[in-house]
Chain A
Amino acid sequence: MSSMTSRRDAAPLSAFDIDRRAALKLLASGMALSLASCGKPPEEIVPYVDQPERVVPGIPLKFATTLDMAGYGRGVIVTSVEGRPIKVEGNPRHSASLGATDVFAEASVLSLYDPDRSKAPRGPKGIASWDAFGDALRTQMEKEKKRQGAGLRLVSGRMTSPTLLRQINALLKAFPQARWYRYEPISDDNEREGAVMAFGRPLTTLPRIGEASVALSLDDDFLGAGPRQIANGRAFISARRAENDPDRFLRLYAAEPALSLTGANADHWLAIRPELIRNLAIAISAILRGEKPNAPLPPAAQRFATVAAADLKSKTGKAIVTAGRTQPPDVHALCHTINGMLHAPIDYIEPVDPAGKHGEALHAFADDLSNNRVETLLILDRNPVYDAPHELGFNGLFPKLPFSAHLGLYDDETAAICHWHLPLSHTLESWSDLRAHDGTASIVQPLIRPLYDTRTAHQVIALISGALSPSSYDLVRETWQPQAGGDFESWWRQVLHDGVIAETRHVAVSAQPKAVDIKPAPNPTEAVLVLAPDPSIWDGRDANNAWLQECPKPLSKETWGNTLSISPRDAQQLGCQTGDVVALTRKNAKVEAVVRVDANQADSVYATTLGHGRRKAGAIGNGIGFDVYPLRAIDEPWLIGGVTIAKTGKSRDIPTTQGQFRLEGETTEFLPRVSLAALAAGLKGPPFAEEPKPTLYPPVHNDDPYAWAMVIDTAACIGCNACVIACQAENNVPVVGPDQILRSRVMHWLRVDTYTDANGGIQGFQPVPCMHCEHAPCEPVCPVAASVHDREGLNVQVYNRCIGTRFCQSNCPYKVRRFNWFGYADDEEYANLGEPPIKAQHNPDVTVRARGVMEKCTYCVQRISRARREAEKENRTIKDGEVVTACQAACPTRAISFGNLKDTGAHVNALRQHKQHYELLGHLGTRPRTTYLARLTNPNPDFDEAKS
């Protein structure tokens, strides 16, 4: 009980014992602090590109830093306007970014300004101070010191930060009895153990997809969301360029229980039960060895195995087989064996995340808790009460602890039952360092002084170790000082400038896989629930980010929540349809899920995503979707058996942005697909060979030096949505909320259309911004000339002239215009998005639109304008590549090109001469400036029917 007393002693000012004078003092100091809080951090930080003599108001600065994705670093360059970071872009020098971003990186800038972020420490008696926590912690640590930390437990996520690792290791040395548990709800335990089985040690596999000619994914969503998405996407598309030698053009096979982004981009896709993927792998390995496959497989899978294996074998040295996280370790091990046989282009590296299995860590932690071995618990930015399997019963175990503290951005589910909640600084407010999935290290440098009274994990660990006012900056520099050699200061400047520390990528090691003994699985009978990370909010940590919640999922186009996808046959058997609510039960856990019937799904497989159904995420994320963590098993986190499903009789509307109507065969017209073979044979026929229709209109001609145009290569679009969120961040595009999405009032300026074949199979993705038609149908119909053309060929919208007749949108064949039905950014914001901190994210170069006004894609006119100012200063025209639109900058596969048609050497001019080039709805005579390259496929002629 002594700890209770000490905590009471250390209690900070309570709201009740402040007198008037004290209140006024606090008010004054609060105002002074808030005035001073925006600005550069006190330590020197180095701008990336521009190095002005001083900060010029209105001129944005760019700084390289690193963002965290599931513990791995992703190098980015952040634009800062007068001390406010407003936009994240990729860092071309960083191997996990390659100059591009993903939705999470783009949206991180919104999380920074989230009004729901924790602003001050909270103690057992309410709002407290860091000093109060320090006092309480010191008393607690005195006790731990005596018993060598026997009661001290640290819980964190995946840890790659060299500084943090150094600090924690030092701490564990000082407290040898203490334990540190690391876990991620989306772990790579199966890959790790598979590598141990094959190589005897936990090597990480880095396939060089860019060098492959054939790839087979066994439920491995390597193009889907995750720390490697950008790198994999870039490599995948670089291997699928039409310019390549047709022999080198990558052909992708995918076998999956439920369609993923990887499956949607595959040339051949097989729907298969997850347990049978093992048999598929066994069959392929047998065929490769020249044996007769005898693992039981359905006929379609047998044929798939035969054709894929033959194709893999024919491309030995350039063929890769990968297995996903749902597959058990021995399948991973078998893949290593197969890759060994194929001499696959793969790098094996020592793991960047050196910890053991995450599942075991959680188990050991729960064990400690239930055996009362934990006295002092510190949770570093993890939320086990929400995202650990509920079987472990953390919810009941936590309150029994004598001392528990939670460090995090939000006062979340775990924080709620800890004694202390400590506000964590956002990555954009922190000094730190991180390693990417391939080991590349980079520095996290802050863009802004912490908005609130927050601290970094470095500071908190240092606090535990007894430091009084630790500085993350000093801690990070201390880590790197020995490695920098000679002149540390200039090394440091260089590293901050580059955003990456040279030669830190883990070197590939040579490894020979052992043959593994693997038994085929019997034909499964029971239904199985397959889980996957959510493409928008990953494991739920970003659930309070409104951009991510409203980002349409790449395949289903759902926003604001998750659904349980089931096959049409299962739906028929259950007697339910899309929108019905079913109850999923496993042991004591019951979850109510909304059904979505999906043709791209194996029978008896139910699939859904993690991360939704948060109870204490904040105003945005609370109660959105349903939480499937309760159903998760400790040792089987991905494929969950023993689940019963039952109708509840309820139904719910699913907020989707597309798919209300069935396609009527438009796919071939709007998203034409051409096979590599047809391209090689010199393709003919519409829409490629379409001659321009005769017109009475004179050609658009002026002597302006610019005619802006965009070409989007649909063959390169993997559907990742990075462009959608990049556009939202750049152009102050408001969030409308689920109710407005249900009313079909999405505001995204750029949407990604998906097209399907007659059976519902995804045929590809088509990003659709404004077409900036030369004969724009929206212009002549506007009664007040708010929609007009400028001399550079931009179709511009004059917001303050618009009176909202909406005639422009009704006459737009592409329906790319967006109307402010309510004041989405004008005092009628969704949830807490109208609160002051959010406004700090707004790009000052872009108008925030009022209610009743039409808006749309501007080709990032503010960026063109900036480039023009720079060019005019130097008395020249804008060079090709000088203007990069936000969507273009974000695209991991460089599917979007933008440039000046009057510049004969411009890349867009070359692309417009391309054989795959076509105009969307060109026959209407709109003469769009945004045009497309047709989707490219590479089906195996050995298959009778390609994935058509």
Chain B
Amino acid sequence: MSSLALDRVETPSQDTRRWVLENGQSDEAVNRIVSAPLLQRHKWTWRTWWIAFAVSGAMTVMMIVSASWLLIRGVGVWGNNTTVVWGFGIANYVWWIGIGNAGTLISSMLLLMRQHWRASINRFAEAMTLFAASIAGLFPILHLGRPLYFYWLTPYPNTMLLWPQWRSALIWDFWAILSYLLFSIVFWYVGLIPDLATLRDRARSALPRKIYGAFALGWRGSARHWHFYEVYHKAMAALAVPLVVSLHSVVGLDFAASLMPGWAETIFPPYFVVGAMYSGFAMVVVLAALVRWGFRMQPIITVNHFDVMAKVMLMASIVMGLSYATEWFDAWYGGDHAERSMLTFMFSGSYSPIYFIMLFCNVLAPQAFWLAAARRSVAAVFVIAVIINVGMWLERLLIILNTLSHTHLPSMRHLFFPTIWDWTLLFGSLGFFAFMFLIFVRLVPSVSMHEVRHILHEGERP
């Protein structure tokens, strides 16, 4: 009962209803808007979807080719060198896992904080999380010198009695990704069950009814079902928050638990979490704009949503800016020669143009959100979100390149130059993400119907 008590909000229903436009403000309207593309395919034009599907499919093939060549020839096909032993592989991993953070943050943290607007976006944000985290999980394996032995990171029984080395941040990482991935799948799927039941009930032909019905696991929408669902969902949400924070903290520890100037900083775990939330949010905004446009969900995903998400990004950009400033200050104030020369290198070294672009993308560009006009223009929010994603990828890359290139001993300082295989794997992974997302929106309701219905009735007494 306690979880239900949590839900009992005192705010007037009018406040939650503002997240849905007039023409969507009924249970039936919500169900119709969301399920139409899935159940009334013949009435729906899929031309754009097919074009996008073909393009992303081609990019997925590119990724497969790139990864295959990597496995055939060896990790030397990338641009990494003896000094910059990590490159795009790890940057891509950190970036993708950061994006993977946001879905769970939205569905759990915002849920616990009673941000009702999350109802319209959490479903595809969770899907995004799932896909991004899966892609992220690929990179550390592909980046290995001997990827066929990646399972040595697990404590499996073997005749040599060898175990992983628990002091290594990579082991923590391995477990963090694995548990997060498993968690995300369960969380996402259970949240889908009521909607799958809705689709089952609305399906006009036998096959979809059977398929959706099978996955709906016999959901009937009884009060008892809803009760269990609510208890379970809240409990999972409460678990998700520490998990998601720990996940990216551990990613931060990959760097922080080292001896290298620019990495060995205590600020890294929180700074990585904020960065992850930031880039993930930006990706959610991009996807929200696309889903809204593609499936005519303007009544459910409103300008108000973009306004509030822009505010979150603005906040995050300020926190990022502060984190950067803290890094600079610490490097200077610490007085260590290596840290200071690292700082000089960041601002005046070979990568400094990229660093300035990164600062513009992550700190300067989002300041436009101080203006309500920018926040309430879907186009502007979309463009800035894309810029933030680019900036965050550059940040991940520079964290690696700056520190590794500018190592302690000057004789070993070398620059990193990516190869065609670095780029194809990066863009291929973006294509693969789009590919999976397009399949998702075609098969599964991309907005959580039951949660939107819920906010329509928020505060009402039965």
Contacts and interface: CB of A to CB of B under 8 A. Distances in A.
B112 to A, nearest CB: 34
A851 B71 CA distance: 11
Contact of B168 (A780, A815, A818): A780
Contacts of A853: 145-146
Contact of A664 (B168, B174, B341): B341
A753 B74 contact: no
A765 B104 CA distance: 55
B168 A782 contact: yes
A212 B99 CA distance: 70
Nearest to A781: B168
A784 B146 contact: no
Interface string B387-423: 0000000000000000010111111111101000000
B70 to A, nearest CB: 11
Contacts of A361: none
Nearest to B415: A660
Contacts of A743: 79, 81, 417
A852 B152 CA distance: 15
B133 interface: no
B169 interface: yes
Interface string A584-609: 00000000000000000000000000
Given A743-B79, A803-B144, A815 B412 contact: yes
Interface string B140-152: 1001111101101
Interface stretch (A461-469, A507-515, A804-812, A933-941): A804-812
B83 interface: yes
Nearest to A756: B410
A852 B170 contact: no
Interface string B168-179: 111100100000
Contacts of A806: 80, 85-86, 145
B413 A661 contact: yes
A821 B174 CA distance: 23
Interface stretch (A111-119, A131-139, A744-752, A863-871): A744-752
A670 interface: yes
Contacts of A746: 82
A520 to B, nearest CB: 43
A802 interface: yes
B75 interface: yes
A809 B171 CA distance: 17
A661 B409 CA distance: 11
Nearest to B168: A783
A841 interface: no
B164 A813 contact: no
Q: Dominant SS at the B interface? A: loop
B13 interface: no
Contacts of A781: 167-170, 257-258
B162 interface: yes
A769 to B, nearest CB: 13
Interface string A732-768: 0000000010011110000101110000000000001
A785 interface: yes
A669 B152 contact: no
Interface string B37-80: 00000000000000000000000000000000000011110011
Contacts of A755: 410
Given A744-B414, A784-B152, A811-B260, A854 B145 contact: yes
Contact of B170 (A660, A783, A814): A783
Contact of A785 (B81, B147, B165, B258): B165
B254 to A, nearest CB: 8
B82 A745 contact: yes
A851 to B, nearest CB: 5
Nearest to B336: A923
A807 B146 contact: no
Contacts of B76: 740, 745, 821-822
Contact of A852 (B79, B144, B153, B406): B144
Nearest to B341: A664
Contact of A815 (B82, B143, B167): B82
Contacts of B23: none
B82 A818 contact: yes
Nearest to B80: A821
A854 to B, nearest CB: 7
B82 A813 contact: no
A777 B152 contact: no
Contacts of A805: 140, 143-145, 170
Given A670-B409, A810-B404, A804 B146 contact: yes
Interface in B256-287: 257-260
A807 B83 contact: no
A819 B82 contact: yes
Interface string A768-794: 100000000100111111000000000
A823 B84 CA distance: 19
Q: Which of B165, B170, B404, B410 has the most CB of A within 10 A?
A: B410
Contacts of A664: 341, 344, 410
Interface in A707-747: 740, 743-746
A820 interface: yes
B337 interface: yes
Given A783-B174, A822-B76, A745 B81 contact: yes
A814 B152 contact: no
Contacts of A471: none
B82 A852 contact: no
A815 B83 contact: yes
B344 A828 contact: no
A663 interface: yes
B75 A804 contact: yes
A478 interface: no
A661 B410 contact: yes
Interface string A917-944: 0001100101000000000000000000
B77 to A, nearest CB: 8
A660 B414 CA distance: 6
Contacts of A768: 409, 411
Contacts of A823: 74
Contacts of A921: 408-409
A666 interface: yes
B61 to A, nearest CB: 25
B411 A754 contact: yes
Contacts of B260: 810-811, 813
Interface string A813-846: 1110111111100001000000000000000000
Nearest to B89: A806
A161 B76 CA distance: 48
Nearest to B260: A811
A906 B355 CA distance: 51
A303 interface: no
10 contacts: A661-B414, A663-B410, A670-B409, A784-B153, A784-B164, A804-B146, A806-B80, A815-B408, A819-B85, A854-B145
Query: 10 closest pairs, A vs B, by CB?
Result: A804-B145, A852-B145, A821-B76, A744-B81, A806-B85, A815-B412, A744-B414, A661-B413, A785-B165, A783-B170
Interface of A: 658-661, 663-664, 666, 669-670, 740, 743-746, 751, 753-755, 768, 777, 780-785, 801-807, 809-811, 813-815, 817-823, 828, 850-854, 920-921, 924, 926
Given A781-B167, A785-B165, A809-B85, 12 more contacts: A659-B411, A660-B414, A663-B410, A743-B79, A781-B170, A783-B168, A784-B164, A785-B162, A806-B85, A815-B83, A821-B74, A822-B74
